[in-house]
Chains A and B, each alone.
Chain A
Amino acid sequence: MQTLVKNEKRPEEPLVEVHKPAPTETQKPALQLPFISMGQVQNIGMAIASLTVGILWWHFATAINLDFYINFSNVPSPFKVFTAFIAHIQTEIFWTHIGVSMRRILFSYSIAVVLGIGIGLIMGRSRIMRAFVMPYIEVIRPIPAVAWIPLAILMWPTEESSIIYITFLGALFPIVLNTLHGVEQTPEVLVRAVQSLGASRVDVFRHVVIPAALPSIAAGLAIGMGVSWFSLLAGEIISGQYGIGYFTWNAYSLINYQDIVVGMLVIGGLGTASTAAVKLLTRPMLKWQKRAR
């Protein structure tokens, strides 16, 4: 270490002495993988380690038939589940289940996105609309998807449409509420600033309100995707003959324990993947935010 500033009392000496650091060889940049930073590699490593610990614990609990408050004696072991999974992915019907579920998600989620953002934006900018629509959201939102099943069957002409309706409802509320929240966060000074630059009401909406709400909307879209998966499951349990929810429920009826867990884990995996896809798709819109940090 070199001393950069030397403060000596003798007046004839300069008060500040600057030592220039000796030129070092230009450092080669550390090995960089495209798109993936060191931090991300660490995070992925951590996730793998965490899951491994969980699976080992699961294996251990089923191997000794752990029965201490929680009873593991009827829970299939990870190995059995894995074997069942491998067997299933070689059948065509399993992929049909997954395909049907994904199609339902895509359809109901898309409707929820369009309607949810639209309703949220209108509620956020109009106090009257907000007061008018809010009671419905407050009352309907806490009703669990499963509770909708009987009424949905009675209301909608086909089983398919009632499943879509239940899934749509699940995704709708997080998207509406997050959009509304985002719109309310719009800084008033930005609205004033663009008004002084000649912006009309429509311009204010387009250039200020919507971009200001985008981070919150993106969060709502990710949450909505997760919720739509567990609503879909509720819908598929009673009606339908295809779908990963139906597969899981059917395995329960047939007392096929490993298939129940296969179904559960596939749902978990698909939910995670689709939420990640939503985050990936909304990321370019939030570019400015990333740079700000």
Chain B
Amino acid sequence: MLDVLKFKKPENASENVGKGQIKIEDVSITFGKGPTAHHAVETTSIDIQAGEFVCILGPSGCGKSTLLNAIAGYTNPTTGRVTVDDVEVKGPGPDRGMVFQQYSLLPWKTVYENVAFGPKMAGMTRTESGSVANTFLGLVGLKKFGNRYPAELSGGMQQRVGIARALANYPSVLLMDEPFGALDAQTRLMMQESLLDIWRNFGTTVVFITHDVDEAVFLADRVLVMSAAPGRIIEDVKVKLPRPRSVDMSSSPEYIEARQFCLETIRAESRKAFAEQNA
């Protein structure tokens, strides 16, 4: 059932070419006030080009999800601002599709209704939103499962529906918060390849959160390595691996070099944190 999927480019996909430039300008995020305040993200500036695939890599609790939430518009930055195509982010919106780690499909709607939801919210008629839903379900190879409820699907299939749902709005940016974190190793590999395939045909900007070095290096053009407490970007690694990528590239020198570099950065950082804790 988990065949590696080949994606065809949907008709409207070209509309987004050249869109999806993200600017994070001097953003810092603090939760609470006074002595109990939690400094989640230290002043950070990042420029992400339109169509770029960026992974934010860091240990759990380092503030990488908080940073993603600021782009999504769920969290307001304490200082600074986030813009997408020069428009300041004020709240969540359909131009920034979001894929969560798990359990984010509406359990009371069928798979088909979940995917058709965004187009319906955009004011499409039932027929229009239905045909969009079918296109995107076809894209992720789940057309046959349209009438099922999410709970009847495996974790990997649910995530594919989640991706289809986010893409059905033709977003210029796709934000992914550890989307494959809960999947088993085989499904995960397959999903990574599928995602690259979708991205290649779609051309949206992708910001992908992960704590898995291999995943980050395999997927990304750029890996932003984050350190914890407070979260800050400590390294901006360009991955020179050619595209399209496949799993057997994991033995290529470029891959090994990038992976090694990320690992060493993380290791040095955690050693420092450990030393500080014991001091």
Contact = CB atoms under 8 A, between A and B. Distances in A.
A198 B108 contact: no
Contacts of B109: 207, 288
Contacts of A214: 108
Interface string B78-97: 00000000000001111011
A195 interface: yes
B56 interface: no
Nearest to A188: B74
Interface in B89-129: 91-94, 96-98, 100, 103-109, 117-118, 121-122
A203 B120 CA distance: 11
Contacts of A208: 106
A187 B105 CA distance: 11
A194 B166 CA distance: 10
B132 to A, nearest CB: 12
B145 interface: no
Interface in A257-293: 288-289, 291-292
Nearest to A210: B108
Say whether chain A's binding surface is mostly helix, strand, loop, or mixed: helix
Contacts of A194: 106, 117, 121
Interface in B126-184: 149, 151-152, 165-166, 169
A192 B118 CA distance: 13
B106 A211 contact: yes
Contacts, number: 70
Interface residues of A, number: 22
B3 to A, nearest CB: 23
A198 B100 contact: no
A193 interface: yes
B94 A197 contact: yes
Contacts of A207: 106, 109, 117
A189 B105 CA distance: 9
Nearest to B74: A192
B72 interface: yes
Contacts of A211: 106, 108
A193 B104 contact: yes
A285 to B, nearest CB: 9
Contacts of B94: 196-198
Contact of A291 (B93, B103, B151): B151
Contact of A187 (B97, B103, B122, B151): B103
Contacts of B105: 193
A212 to B, nearest CB: 8
B92 to A, nearest CB: 4
Interface residues of B, number: 27
Contact of A190 (B91, B92, B96, B104): B104
Nearest to A195: B92
Interface in A198-218: 198-200, 203, 207-208, 211-212, 214
A212 B100 CA distance: 18
Interface in A58-84: none
Interface string A3-24: 0000000000000000000000
Contacts of A289: 107-108
B169 A197 contact: yes
B31 to A, nearest CB: 15
A189 B121 contact: no
A147 to B, nearest CB: 40
A292 B100 CA distance: 20
Contacts of A212: 108
Contact of A292 (B151, B165, B169): B151
B71 to A, nearest CB: 11
Given A190-B104, A207-B117, A198 B149 contact: no
A162 B93 CA distance: 51
Interface string A242-253: 000000000000
A146 B240 CA distance: 80
Contact of A196 (B108, B149, B152, B166): B166
Interface of A: 187, 189-190, 192-200, 203, 207-208, 211-212, 214, 288-289, 291-292
Q: Which 9 A-B pairs have the closest CB atoms?
A: A292-B151, A198-B94, A198-B121, A197-B118, A195-B92, A196-B98, A211-B108, A288-B108, A193-B104
24 contacts: A187-B103, A189-B100, A192-B72, A193-B104, A193-B106, A195-B92, A196-B97, A196-B98, A197-B117, A197-B169, A198-B93, A198-B169, A199-B117, A199-B121, A200-B121, A203-B121, A207-B106, A208-B106, A212-B108, A288-B108, A288-B109, A288-B151, A292-B151, A292-B152
